[in-house]
């Protein structure tokens, strides 16, 4: 793990060189992960890598440029992830999410705030998209609810809540659940941060669920938030995966 408040000299050089090469590649990219969390919350914590977000059309030229400069490159999963290595450090090039709900698009870059990182001008992943991605991370091994709470606590008054609702419109239950967790966690602060009209809208949707007919297909949406713990539902309990679409 790397402590960003006092990184080793070779790590600092790696990060600086990485950002320089990204700019030289003439690609559009954004910084995410622990460094984006620091940008929005001020939280400093150890990290094992540098998370870079880009559109899927951008990662090929990024990989080619780094390979031409002596880095090891890896197309880890053509659906969402590539990696760039220079031992012992590496960066993740992310262009989608594991569940393929959060595909990186041009408007991410257009809306991303600018900042300075390791003496380099960069653009960060927008806070709304950072929350959007983290709302689906509810694994047994990793659960990003606290990250979302901290983003809302420190940046929530500047958040575009309408945009976030648009992003989460299909899976609004997750947004409502996180708002309730935020209310529980910060009883002193939530009224000033969470728009009441958003809360009322989501509560109304939850109430309306009981007026709807029962779902014809026996679906488990669990794999959208945890790709391993809901395997038993699909393999043994007769549920259909949320990733399979039927007509």
pLDDT of residue 119: 85
Chain segment 3-50, per-residue pLDDT in tens: 566 667 888 888 899 999 999 999 999 999 999 999 999 998 877 789
Its pTM stands at 0.93
Sign of CA dihedral 44, 174, 52, 123: negative
1-125: which CATH topology?
A: Beta Polymerase; domain 2 (3.30.460)
Kindly state the average pLDDT of the residues 51-72: 97
Kindly state the average pLDDT of the residues 73-86: 95
Chain segment 104-123, per-residue pLDDT in tens: 999 999 999 999 998 899 99
CA 203/CA 240 separation, integer angstroms = 27
Domain ranges of the chain: 1-125, 140-212, 215-247
């Amino acid at each position: 793990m790397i402590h960003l408040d006092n990184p080793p000299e070779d790590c600092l050089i790696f990060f600086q060189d990485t950002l320089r090469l990204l700019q030289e590649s003439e690609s559009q990219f954004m910084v995410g992960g622990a460094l984006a969390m620091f940008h929005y919350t001020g939280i400093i914590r150890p990290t094992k890598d540098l998370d870079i977000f880009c559109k899927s059309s951008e990662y090929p030229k990024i990989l080619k440029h780094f390979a031409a400069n002596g880095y090891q490159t890896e197309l880890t999963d053509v659906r969402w992830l590539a990696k760039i290595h220079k031992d012992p450090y590496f960066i993740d090039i992310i262009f989608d999410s594991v569940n393929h709900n959060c595909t990186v698009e041009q408007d991410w870059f257009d809306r991303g705030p600018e900042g300075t990182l390791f003496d380099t001008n960069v653009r960060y992943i927008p806070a709304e998209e950072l929350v959007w991605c983290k709302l689906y991370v509810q694994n047994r091994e990793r659960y990003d609810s606290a990250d979302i709470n901290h983003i809302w606590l420190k940046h929530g008054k500047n958040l575009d809540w309408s945009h976030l609702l648009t992003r989460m419109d299909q899976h609004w239950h997750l947004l409502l659940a996180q708002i309730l967790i935020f209310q529980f966690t910060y009883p002193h602060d939530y009224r000033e941060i969470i728009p009441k009209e958003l809360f009322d809208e989501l509560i109304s949707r939850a109430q309306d669920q009981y007026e709807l007919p029962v779902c014809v297909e026996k679906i488990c949406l669990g794999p959208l938030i945890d790709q391993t713990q809901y395997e038993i539902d699909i393999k043994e309990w007769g549920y259909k995966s949320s990733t399979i679409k039927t007509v």
